[in-house]
Amino acid sequence: MKYCIAIMATLLLAQTVIPHKSLAQDTPDEATSSTEPQKEDKMPFADAKPEDITNENFPKLIESFVFPDAEIREVVKAIAKLTGKNFIVHSQVRGKISILADTPITVAEAYKAFLSALAMTGYTVVPSGNFLKVISSRDAKRDSIETYSGRYFPVTDQLITRIVKLKYISAEELKKKLRNIVSKEGEMEDYALTNSLIITDYGSNIERFMGIVNQLDVPGFEERLEVITIKYAKAKDISDLIDEIINKGQPKNQRFTSSRFSRTNQAESSSSGAESFSHVIPDQRTNSIIVVGNEAGIQKIRALVKKLDFKLRPEDSGGVYVYYIRHGEAESISKILSGIASDSTKAQSDTGTKTNTAAPPTAQPQAIFGGDVKITADPDNNSLIVSASPQDYEVVKNLLAKIDIPRDQVYVKAIIMEMEAQKSQNVGINYYKFVEGTDGVGRIGFRGTTDVASLIDPAGDSGAIISLGDKGNLTTVKIAGQELEVPNLLGLIKILKKSVGANVLSEPQIMALDNQEALIEVGDEVPVGVSQALGTGTTPTTASIERKKATIKLNITPFISPDTDTVRLNIKQSVSQLSKKQVEASELAKAAVITNERNIETSIVVNSGDTAVLGGLMTDKEDETVFKVPILGDLPILGWLFKSRETSKSKSNLVVFITPKIIRNAQDGSDVIDVKLKERIDFIRQNLQGRDPHGHTIDNLPRRAFNSSPTTLDEEPLEEPALETF
């Protein structure tokens, strides 16, 4: 009851009509009506809403409105009398305000001055039915203050709520940028779904805020949808690439989490805030990408797409490339690269499917290719056909640059010699080296002894044929009780042929690639009777005959050391010989032909230019020769009166001299040719009296190939073969 009485007393006080003559306490300061003709108000002031209180609606003037250091309650009484509005003043409202207006002003201006004075002391008015409550501004924010969302709002110091709908910029971003614009009693919140700001503040401050917003919320920064057609690339590839650029450093599960029209503030915006884009979605059916962003952001993506979406060469666009092998073989290189690609694909699948997190960490093979790589060899063109992405093809080319390199070669000169021996030797294969121009000692022997005396005096060793001495000097050797001087390996061979009964079976020479087998095979195929079927009655006797090879074969596979001038040789050497017994064709099926085969298979290491000697293959040879008188010598029993038979037996030893020479460049090859040319010239001087009918044709071919200057030739007229005189 006491509370109701207090309210009624307050209402009666607010409705008391205060005379215009004096609105202050016994002071000359007062609000008085002007003596000039007054314009009529358009409506009763008491019924006016805050937005209606303007000079246009209330033009009536008062001569002055002066309240120096007046109590708030006294000023409220004066305003109530002047405007006809009803007020409720909270009991906690205390303090003094000063309003000094000595010149004529309108009632609307006086009311606005009253609101401004209240705001300065932390108070405001809040409508409540037909009353205006005077309360603190802090409490007013939670009270029923007026809310405005249209174009017009009261530009006074009365606390109001203003809803601002933004068209082009993000409300959330604007709130962060302008949060210090509102007064200390004001508040500002954003509502993302409608891209709006809700501001509670004095109307005058909101007007200032709106002036800033109108300058910022302009076309060009709103988000919209844009479809960009991709012409040459794949839409998904372009979209993924832009995704990596926009969301650099963000986990995939946090990418593009903003609303479709949310005016995103993601990190993809530029430092100036001009470009923004929140979604980039590929449409594989139309091969296009859908971009959600503002105009500047969309234009930036368009520029990026223009740089990425261009026409490639047919082989690049299809992911198919042709690489021509320069030095190796396409088929072998294809197998190597295909194995690497297969291992890379397996490493990718193992990495993608492994889910056991409890297992201890182990080193996983790294996939060197990003996708599937297929490599096919084209042997006709010695090329590789590679199906891969451009990035993976670059990896393939880097591998090829290390695999497809020039391979060194080895020039191998071999001498296969057969020497007669008078005693049988119970030995295996021994290996020695003839080191040209060094201190090395070479030996051809069979017992494998390392006795120094046997090396110096081979004639005293029953198991040795010959030994060689020190470098550079003429070496004196004893053969068959005679002392002979041996200048070099060729001199040794000559001595062997003259003094020991040596027979040079073959002198093959061949050029072999590093780590590739080379084969020399020389000989004949001879008919040999295999079986005979005797005829019965009218069936004739038939014989089965096949051809067998009587050849000298040398297989060599060199392995060149990359750091030194040494060569490892895998050697397979075989000699297949037939007996000297001559058999007529009609007797082939009846005759037995003996085939002698001797084989050497070993691996040795030799310095480039040195000579290795392999020996110790002994064989017993028995030859039978028949001399007879034709027809008479074929008679049974009596034929022995007209024929004779001679049988000879001998033992022979097979020795192989092998000299490898590494050919690393054109100069090494030129040196070998120069040596061969010198040997040829020496042969012509010794055997053809220095005249070569083919000198002009033969000599200039290798010299021209290596850009050597040809020697001066004594050429005869062109009608006759050109001759070269040495």
Pairing of strands 611-628, 430-434: antiparallel
Residue 514 pLDDT greater than 50, yes or no: yes
Cβ–Cβ under 8 Å, residues 64 and 103: yes
**Residue written as tokens 């995103």?**
264
Res 94: pLDDT: 87
Residue 354 pLDDT greater than 90, yes or no: no
Residue 115 pLDDT greater than 50, yes or no: yes
Please report the beta strands in 313-470, taking only residues with DSSP state E, as ranges in sequence order: 320-324, 374-378, 383-387, 409-421, 430-434, 443-445, 464-467
Res 323: pLDDT: 93
Question: Average pLDDT in the 320-333 region?
Answer: 90
- Residue 443 pairs in a beta bridge with 467
Residue 480 pLDDT greater than 50, yes or no: no
502 vs 432, residue with greater confidence: 502
- 3-state secondary structure (DSSP) of residue 707: coil
112-116, 705-709, 720-724: segment of lowest average pLDDT = 720-724
Res 274: pLDDT: 56
* CA–CA gap between residue 24 and residue 22 (Å, rounded): 6
User: Residue 60, Cβ neighbours under 10 Å: how many?
Assistant: 16
* CA–CA gap between residue 544 and residue 546 (Å, rounded): 7
* CA–CA gap between residue 525 and residue 549 (Å, rounded): 4
Angle, alpha carbons 202-206-209 (nearest 5°) = 145
432 vs 43, residue with greater confidence: 43
pLDDT band, residue 652 (cuts 50/70/90) = confident
636 vs 357, residue with greater confidence: 636
Res 465: pLDDT: 38
Pairing of strands 131-136, 86-89: parallel
The token pair at 343 is 């291992």
* CA–CA gap between residue 316 and residue 325 (Å, rounded): 19
- Amino acid, single-letter form, for residue 618: M
**What's the CA dihedral at 48, 54, 59, 60 to 10 degrees?**
50
195 vs 442, residue with greater confidence: 195
* CA–CA gap between residue 98 and residue 10 (Å, rounded): 23
Residue 97 pLDDT greater than 80, yes or no: yes
51-60, 549-558, 565-574: segment of lowest average pLDDT = 51-60
Please, which residues have CB within 8 angstroms of residue 217's CB and are 6 or more apart in sequence? 166, 167, 168, 169, 174
Residue 492 pLDDT greater than 70, yes or no: no
Question: Average pLDDT in the 400-427 region?
Answer: 74
* CA–CA gap between residue 422 and residue 498 (Å, rounded): 16
* CA–CA gap between residue 132 and residue 129 (Å, rounded): 8
Residue 713 pLDDT greater than 60, yes or no: no
> Residue 608: which of 452, 433, 403 has the closest Cα?
433
Res 611: pLDDT: 85
* CA–CA gap between residue 206 and residue 119 (Å, rounded): 14
User: Residue 606, Cβ neighbours under 10 Å: how many?
Assistant: 22
Question: Average pLDDT in the 48-55 region?
Answer: 77
Residues 209-259 pLDDT 10s: 888 888 888 876 667 788 999 998 889 989 888 888 776 655 555 444 333
Residue 580 pLDDT greater than 80, yes or no: no
Residue 335 pLDDT greater than 80, yes or no: yes
Residues 458-478 pLDDT 10s: 334 443 334 343 344 444 544
pLDDT band, residue 184 (cuts 50/70/90) = confident
Terminal alpha carbon distance of the chain:
152
- Amino acid, single-letter form, for residue 259: S
Residue 532 dihedral angles phi and psi, to the nearest 5°: -140, 135
With b for 16 or more beta-carbon neighbours within 10 A and e for fewer, the 412-445 pattern comes to: bbbbbbbbebeeebebeebbbbbbbeeebbbbbb
80 vs 528, residue with greater confidence: 80
Res 491: pLDDT: 54
Residue 558 pLDDT greater than 90, yes or no: yes
**Residue written as tokens 């090329």?**
383
Residues 523-545 pLDDT 10s: 777 776 655 555 565 666 555 66
Res 325: pLDDT: 93
Contacts for 675-681 with beta carbons within 8 Å, 24 or more apart?
677/702, 677/703, 681/726
254-263, 327-336, 686-695: segment of lowest average pLDDT = 254-263
490 vs 201, residue with greater confidence: 201
Transcribe 356-392 into DSSP letters. Answer: --SSPP-PPPPPS-SS--EEEEETTTTEEEEE--HHH
Cβ–Cβ under 8 Å, residues 61 and 36: yes
Residue 5 pLDDT greater than 50, yes or no: no
147-156, 284-293, 404-413: segment of lowest average pLDDT = 147-156
Question: Average pLDDT in the 317-328 region?
Answer: 83
231 vs 51, residue with greater confidence: 231
Q: Which domains does the chain have, with CATH numbers?
A: 2-140 (3.55.50.30), 147-216 (3.30.1370.120), 224-311 (3.30.1370.120), 316-350+367-403 (3.30.1370.120), 409-534+541-662 (no CATH), 666-725 (no CATH)
- 3-state secondary structure (DSSP) of residue 219: coil
180-189, 283-292, 359-368, 694-703: segment of lowest average pLDDT = 359-368
How many C-alpha atoms does 228 have within 13 Å on its Cβ side? 31
* % of the chain residues with pLDDT over 90: 7
* CA–CA gap between residue 267 and residue 692 (Å, rounded): 88
179 vs 546, residue with greater confidence: 179
- 3-state secondary structure (DSSP) of residue 400: helix
344 vs 22, residue with greater confidence: 344
Angle, alpha carbons 654-660-666 (nearest 5°) = 150
Res 381: pLDDT: 92
Res 428: pLDDT: 33
Residue 452 pLDDT greater than 50, yes or no: no
* CA–CA gap between residue 598 and residue 616 (Å, rounded): 10
Residue 557 pLDDT greater than 90, yes or no: yes
Res 299: pLDDT: 87
Q: Across 330-334, 517-521, 618-622, which has the greatest mean pLDDT? A: 330-334
For CA atoms 686, 692, 697, 703, the dihedral sign is positive
* % of the chain residues with pLDDT over 70: 64
User: Residue 295, Cβ neighbours under 10 Å: how many?
Assistant: 18
- What value does the mean pLDDT of the chain take? 72
Res 464: pLDDT: 37
Res 250: pLDDT: 59
Residues 246-305 pLDDT 10s: 766 555 554 443 333 334 444 344 334 456 666 788 998 889 999 888 788 888 889 889
pLDDT band, residue 376 (cuts 50/70/90) = very high
684 vs 380, residue with greater confidence: 380
Residue 662 pLDDT greater than 80, yes or no: yes
With b for 16 or more beta-carbon neighbours within 10 A and e for fewer, the 462-494 pattern comes to: ebbbbbbbeeeeebebebeeeebebeebeebbe
Residue 635 dihedral angles phi and psi, to the nearest 5°: -70, 145
Residue 434 pLDDT greater than 60, yes or no: no
